[in-house]
Structure 1
C-alpha cells in the first residue's frame, strides 16, 4: 500500500461532517474514505469493524480503530496536529478516549449533523434506503 487510509461511515452525517473537517483543516497524506466506497478486502477490514469505529490502515500495514485511529491520522499531519495526537496517546487521555468514543458512536444520530440513519446498523440502512442510501421502492 502506498498511502495510509482513514475509513469512516459515509452513511452517517455526523461522521461525514468530521471527514469534511479533516479534508478542510488537517493536512494529511492519508486517503479519507467512507467504508462503503473502500476496498475493505484490500485494506484487511470488515464491514463489522467499520460499523463499530473509524479505522486506520497505515501504508506500512499497521491498523488502529476508534480514538487510536484518530491519533494515527493526527500524527500523520502537521506539527500542531501531531501535538494533539501525542495528547490523545497519553495513557490517561487514551483511557478516557475510548469510553467517550463509544458514547459518541452510540449517540451520533443525536449530535449536530447526525441523522436517524446514523443509529441503524448497515444491514438495516440498506434494507430501508438501499445500498446507495436512497429509499427503496415501497418504503
Structure 2
C-alpha cells in the first residue's frame, strides 16, 4: 500500500514536464511525481487514456482526481499559503472556472511555450472526466 499520494503527468509533453518541474521547485507538493509513461497505471487504478488526457492525483487509498482538481490537491499538499489557494479551487464557482481554464490549457498545450507535437491531447476521447 502506498503511503504518499502520486502525481501522474505526461512525461512526453515539454509543457507538462516544465510545469511539473516548476511546481516541484516552487510549491513542493508532498507526493511522488511520475510520468504516466513510467508509472504502473494498473496499480494506480488509472488508464493510459485518462493519463494522456489530464494530470492525475492518486491518493494512498486509490482515489483519483484529475485536471483542475488534481491541481487543487497538489496545492493542498504543500506548505505555506498554497493550501489556501488549493481549497479555493475546490469551491464552486471557482472550481467550475478552474475546470474550464484547465481544459483550455490542456487542449492547447502543444501551442504553449515548451509544447511540441507530442503534447497534443488525443482528438477523440470516449470519456471526459470532470472530478
TM-score per shorter chain, which class?
A: 0.7 to 0.9
Q: Which residue of the partner structure matches residue 127 of structure 2?
A: none
Give the secondary structure class of the aligned counterpart of 2:108: helix
Name the stretch that deviates more: 92-101 or 7-16.
Answer: 92-101
Q: Which residue of the partner structure matches residue 33 of structure 1?
A: 34
Which is richer in helix?
A: 1
Q: Which residue of the partner structure matches residue 80 of structure 1?
A: 81
Residue 76 of structure 1: how far off its partner (Å): 0.8
CA RMSD of aligned residues (A): 1.2
TM-score in terms of structure 1 length? 0.82
Q: Which residue of the partner structure matches residue 90 of structure 2?
A: 89
TM-score in terms of structure 2 length? 0.87
Q: Where in structure 2 are there 5+ consecutive unaligned residues?
A: 123-131
Q: Where in structure 1 are there 5+ consecutive unaligned residues?
A: 122-139
Give the secondary structure class of the aligned counterpart of 1:56: strand
- Distance in 2 (CA, whole Å) between partners of 1:47 and 1:82 is 29
Q: Which residue of the partner structure matches residue 64 of structure 2?
A: 63
User: Which protein has the larger Cα radius of gyration, Structure 1 or Structure 2?
Assistant: 1
Q: Which has the higher contact order (CA 8 A, sep 6+)?
A: 2
**1:1-139 → structure 2 map (5 Å cutoff):** 1-119=2-120, 121=122
- Distance in 1 (CA, whole Å) between partners of 2:80 and 2:64 is 22
Number of aligned positions between the proteins: 121
Residue 26 of structure 1: how far off its partner (Å): 1.5
- Distance in 2 (CA, whole Å) between partners of 1:117 and 1:27 is 26
